[in-house]
């Protein structure tokens, strides 16, 4: 079993943006303001997903 399958691989998430705010998410990444991954969530992806940031 690899680390991803075992759950021991961990990726820090800086913030999840709704798809409608993609330009803001892109700005944050471009200006290197994030300290982790910046995610874009679709409507389906937001149901039950944790919001970070």
Mean pLDDT of the chain: 85
Rounded to an integer, what is the distance from CA 19 to the centroid of its chain? 11
Q: In this structure, are residues 38 and 25 in contact, taking their beta carbons and an 8 Å threshold? A: yes
Specify the pLDDT at position 3.
84
Domain for residue 4, yes or no?
A: no
Cα-only R_g, the chain = 13
Residues of the chain with pLDDT > 70, as a percent, come to 83
Q: Mean pLDDT, to the nearest integer, of 15-44?
A: 94
Specify the pLDDT at position 26.
96
Specify the pLDDT at position 47.
63
Residue 41: domain span: 11-46
Q: In this structure, are residues 40 and 19 in contact, taking their beta carbons and an 8 Å threshold? A: yes
pLDDT band at 20 (very low <50, low <70, confident <90, very high): very high
Q: In this structure, are residues 41 and 19 in contact, taking their beta carbons and an 8 Å threshold? A: yes
Domain for residue 29, yes or no?
A: yes
Specify the pLDDT at position 25.
97
Q: How many structural domains does the chain have? A: 1
């Amino acid at each position: 079993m690899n680390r991803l399958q075992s759950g021991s691989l961990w990726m820090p998430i800086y913030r999840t943006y709704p798809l409608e705010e993609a330009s803001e998410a892109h700005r944050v990444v471009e200006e290197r303001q994030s300290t982790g991954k910046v995610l874009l969530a679709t409507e389906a992806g937001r149901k039950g997903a944790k919001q970070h940031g």
